Chains A and B, each alone.
Chain A
Amino acid sequence: MATITRVTRWGGYPAWAWILQAASGVLLVVLLSLHIIAQHFVAPGGVLDYGGVVAHLRNPVIFVLETAFAGSVLFHVFAGVRAILLDLAPSKAQERSINVILTTLGVGLFVYGLVLTLVVVTR
């Protein structure tokens, strides 16, 4: 049997959490590389000063890339935390709480980052 069917099926259902975490991981290799190169290697002295950050984020292409980066990194991180917690064999009720708490944290941080970005580019 192909490895992909073993690692991507769990109890007879496709393991969407695993597939999406792998996919977001591959996406992150690209988006994180762009994030680091743009913010820390092109920038003089390794980090952007305030004006540099504003100019960087006001570029619509960069804005879209950084937003996509934030979304995929938060998904990837919280899917990872969920995978660790599910390995501790929680009950169904505990698993539901884990899902609700982690989704809230992930969405909350994404919205917070988006608001921060919009405040910085618009003032």
Chain B
Amino acid sequence: MTGNGQHNTALRWGDSVRWFDARRRGLGMWAFALNRITGVLLMIYLLVHFVNISVLYLGETAWNQLMDLFRMPPFLIFDVALVLVLLYHGLNGIRLVILALDIGVAQQKRIFWGLMAFGTVVAVFTAFGLFRG
């Protein structure tokens, strides 16, 4: 819906290209862009996850073989990356809800970096937890 209430009849290719133009953007715009990118990554992961849990249908042997694969270091690195993406998306989401409730609008940059610092600490503990086994 545009400002004068008119509807466009088709998806506008120009808009989707401009969306990737990251110049002249403040922290909030970067945070929003990253929120969408991480959101799309998590959607892809969710669909892959639906496929991998479907191996449960194939029974015990197939599932346990898959889990032996998932315990290997390349997959643990993937898990750490997944946790980083989840932490960013979740913590930034909390920031959005806080702002929508009109809390901390003036301190939003500090809140953003505070949440990111918290996320970094959680990510480090998670990485240690995963590689310890």
Q: Which residues of A contact B (CB under 8 A)?
A: 2-4, 7-8, 11, 22, 25-26, 28-29, 32, 40-41, 45-51, 53, 73-74, 77, 80-81, 84, 87-92, 94, 109, 112-113, 116, 119-120
Contact = CB atoms under 8 A, between A and B. Distances in A.
B111 interface: no
Contact of A50 (B11, B16, B63): B63
15 contacts: A4-B102, A22-B93, A25-B93, A26-B93, A26-B94, A29-B94, A49-B63, A50-B60, A50-B63, A53-B56, A77-B42, A84-B39, A88-B11, A94-B10, A112-B50
B67 A28 contact: no
A73 to B, nearest CB: 7
A49 B64 contact: yes
Given A46-B130, A47-B70, 17 more contacts: A2-B102, A4-B100, A22-B96, A22-B100, A26-B94, A29-B94, A32-B90, A40-B79, A45-B133, A46-B133, A50-B63, A53-B56, A77-B46, A89-B2, A94-B10, A94-B11, A113-B53
A41 B76 CA distance: 13
A99 to B, nearest CB: 15
Mostly, the A contact residues are helix
Nearest to B63: A50
Contacts of A7: 100
Contact of A120 (B39, B46, B56, B105): B56
B76 A92 contact: no
A49 B64 CA distance: 5
Contacts of A90: 8, 10-11
B117 to A, nearest CB: 17
B121 interface: no
A73 B19 CA distance: 25
Nearest to B16: A88
7 tightest Cβ-Cβ pairs between the two chains A and B? A50-B60, A50-B63, A89-B8, A88-B11, A3-B102, A25-B93, A47-B67
A87 B15 CA distance: 9
Contacts of B50: 109, 112-113
B71 interface: yes
A8 B60 CA distance: 47
B122 to A, nearest CB: 10
B86 A3 contact: no
Interface string B100-133: 1110010000000000000000000000011001
